[in-house]
Structure 1
Amino acid sequence: MELRKLCCHAYMLEGVEPDIDDPKEAFKQLLESSGKLHLLDKMMVKLKEQGHRVLIYTQFQHMLDLLEDYCSYKRWQYERIDGKVGGAERQIRIDRFNAKNSSRFCFLLSTRAGGLGINLATADTVVIYDRFLHCLFDRQQLPSMKLNFRRNEEED
């Protein structure tokens, strides 16, 4: 499990995340401590410039926290659903993301809480930050996402 966490980001391991007061330095360290996040940053900047809307899935709550820190530093508006979000609040967040002219650029989702039954057809890009150990998620989730994207394109 620790190796899987490390593959996501070094800060996922206990005691590794430094206590840095300066926000710019904290962001720099956040990116430099993970090649994967560094690459995601390069992708996200381009996706944002091109007007894409992104779903980012991860199985770890702590990784969602780090991605939230990342989005906050970039001053990108986003939504998040994890296991702590109740049904009513969950739908509010989905509706806010899907709203016409929504300023939300990305949606951070846990693989379990953000699984089947969520309509996020206004997104056009999916990032699975860490591959779910049980590939059933990928086999069930991705085809339904693709179908939703196709429907969205047909409506345009």
Structure 2
Amino acid sequence: KGVSWLSNPSIVTYSLIMAASWRQISYAMVLFLAGLKGVPKELVEAATVDGAGPWKRFWNVVLPMLKPATIVAVTVSVIDSLRAFDIVYVLTRGGPFYSSSVMANYMYIKTFNNYRMGYGSSIATVQFLITLVFIVVYMRNVLKREVENE
């Protein structure tokens, strides 16, 4: 007997996380590859000359240089997860027993299945405000970096 990935309430969330992560991994890898290309070789060579091993070079030289790429990848992933209606709706429709329901899915159910338009719009407004907070934080970081580079 196989594992019921999408009908077992205790593992359906992890199954959806794997499906959503599969969609984001390629984007994050491109960002990190661009970040790795931006690490100056002189810094890595200087750390090698100073006697730093591979782990110390990565931890103290490369990883701090990847901070901008990490911030972008995490922010975009969080914003994408807030609008994760499509994966949940197509794979489980929020089930079993609403164990995989997300805010966008809950809004859809309340608005169109239960005909509670006002309640659905208030959920959409709250979701918009949460997303807006992440976008404002992201844009501040981007603009701050642009000002520092000028």
TM superposition score normalised by structure 1:
0.28
When you count strand as a share of all residues, which structure comes out higher?
1
TM superposition score normalised by structure 2:
0.29
Of the two, which has the highest radius of gyration? Answer: 2
